[in-house]
Amino acid sequence: MPYAVGLQAAASALLHAGFPTQFTLAIVIFLLIMHVISCFEQEQPDAPKTLPGHSLSAIHPFFRRRFDFLNWGFHATGQSVFQFHLLRNQVIVVSGERARETFFAARGLDLEQGFKILSGALPTLKGVTSDLQNKARNIIYKRLATVQRNTSLSDLIPAILEDSRRIMEGWGSGGSFDPFEKVYELIFQTTVRSLTCSEIADDPAIVARLKVLYDKLDHGTTPATVLLPWLPTPAMLKKLWATKQIYDIVAHAIATREQSGVPQNDTLQMLLDSKDDKLIIVGFIMGLLIAGARATGTTASWLITFLGANPEWRAKALLEVQTLLSNYPLSQPTPNGSTSAHLATIPLEAWEAEMPVLDSLIRETLRIAQPHSAMRRNLGPDLYIENKRVPTGSYVIYPFSDVHLDPELYPDPWKFDPSRPVDTKTPFGYVGWGGGKTTCLGTRLAKLELKMVSSLFLLGFQHHIVDINGKVADVAPKPDWNDIHMCRPAKGSCYVKYEKLETQL
């Protein structure tokens, strides 16, 4: 009887407790139940080996030091395939050539579902940027292909170069900057120009606001917001508010265009002329904008960094750009002898086919400084990777470092060496733009942005890499693959010191 009285008193106290106390207790009970259930789960004979330690101990390192964590997993299990749990989510990590082939070829492995659960850094609006029906998803892919047609890309060249010129002019005659801030800001602007509309791209204040909001999504992505999206943590509330503000900016731009009745030559006009549903248009802009800016911005930041740290490659790239200009002389002078205006007259096919040095520089930059881990969810049926069962509903990860930092394929893998021969024999021996059925759909646009921005920068500035004290770096900065967004090196170790040349941008 005293036990019943005690339980009754405890229940009464709980009912009269505030919501925060009740909510916290509910979470504790939830985690305790999951722990008890996991203790009774039996590992199947064909299941991948499980990481040692409690499953909860994997959450923080997976989200905060993923590169180290995954490498430790291969070492701790002694296997090329292992598994762990993120709460109730079974995650299987694979490595090796055969596993890589299966991973990129398997039909049941879904990119969107995998990225949604294991990353969570995109603005999430159901039916707009997530949980899309196949029809809506296919429309978005089709419209992205339209953006990258010859005519569309050719029309974008002058606008991207003009945006680049304006921003670079704002850097002044000399100084230093963090490339992972300044170069990223530049690429964010050119990506906005490419994938949105003049109402947004022509207003620096709106572009800056959008960047701040997308940065909030990145910084606000925590283990709780990804694994417990229904939990109203402060980080989740901030993410929801940032997502709403992004939505409002895009929706307002669409409404402004429709009300004006004045057509423009930009991506929004193409979307409106295609008579797409408004939610598809908003989803196209919200989702692809950050996906494009983040990946291309990271590559551009590192490309400028590697050029500054490798004078011989900087000289080769500059010579290539100068040769391109000489091969396409102006038929009439540009305003003020503008370099950007001259570059804008070079045809698209030349940018794509006549720059082998920059092609190799971009390829090597992607290899050594894109900290991706490909994420998929197995939508069924069960499949086997290296004789280990991957159940329907489980998540699968393939870290790009497994191939891109493999010393057998890339001797001295941390060395920046664009002269490396291209291996065409090893299956998926290079996955800088993805692989199999999930290659980057924006590759053509991204390469064009990278070539134009780096070309204008090389023609307009002399630069090298210095540390926080302004001392020229003895060695090139090493990418930190634990930074899952930008691979940024240690804070204070990498700045671009630059001097503007006499050339008129």
- State which amino acid sits at residue 111: L
Cα–Cα distance for residue pair 211/206, rounded to 1 Å: 9
Cα–Cα distance for residue pair 6/224, rounded to 1 Å: 34
Of 476, 475, 481, residue with least CA distance to 404: 481
DSSP of 263-298: --SSHHHHHHHTT--HHHHHHHHHHHHHHHHHHHHH
H/E element holding 36?
helix 19-40
Residue 461, SS3 per DSSP: strand
Q: Which residues contact 64 (CB under 8 A, 6 or more apart)?
A: 482
Q: Is 273 left (phi over 0), alpha (psi -120 to 50) or beta?
A: alpha
Cα–Cα distance for residue pair 478/358, rounded to 1 Å: 21
Residue 176, SS3 per DSSP: strand
Cα–Cα distance for residue pair 390/281, rounded to 1 Å: 36
Cα–Cα distance for residue pair 24/17, rounded to 1 Å: 11
Cα–Cα distance for residue pair 471/498, rounded to 1 Å: 13
Q: Identify the residue whose tokens are 């047609």.
A: 149
Cα–Cα distance for residue pair 12/347, rounded to 1 Å: 77
The two structure tokens encoding residue 384: 């086997």
Length of the chain in residues, anyone? 505
Distances in Å between the alpha carbon of 143 and those of 191, 283, 320, 352? 15, 12, 33, 21
Query: Buried b / exposed e across 376-385, counting CB within 10 Å, b at 16+?
Result: bbbeeeebeb
Q: Which residues contact 219 (CB under 8 A, 6 or more apart)?
A: none
Cα–Cα distance for residue pair 67/405, rounded to 1 Å: 12
Cα–Cα distance for residue pair 372/375, rounded to 1 Å: 9
The two structure tokens encoding residue 445: 């646009």
Residue 440 marked in a binding site? yes
Q: Is 44 left (phi over 0), alpha (psi -120 to 50) or beta?
A: beta
Known binding-site positions: 440
Binding-site entries for heme: 440
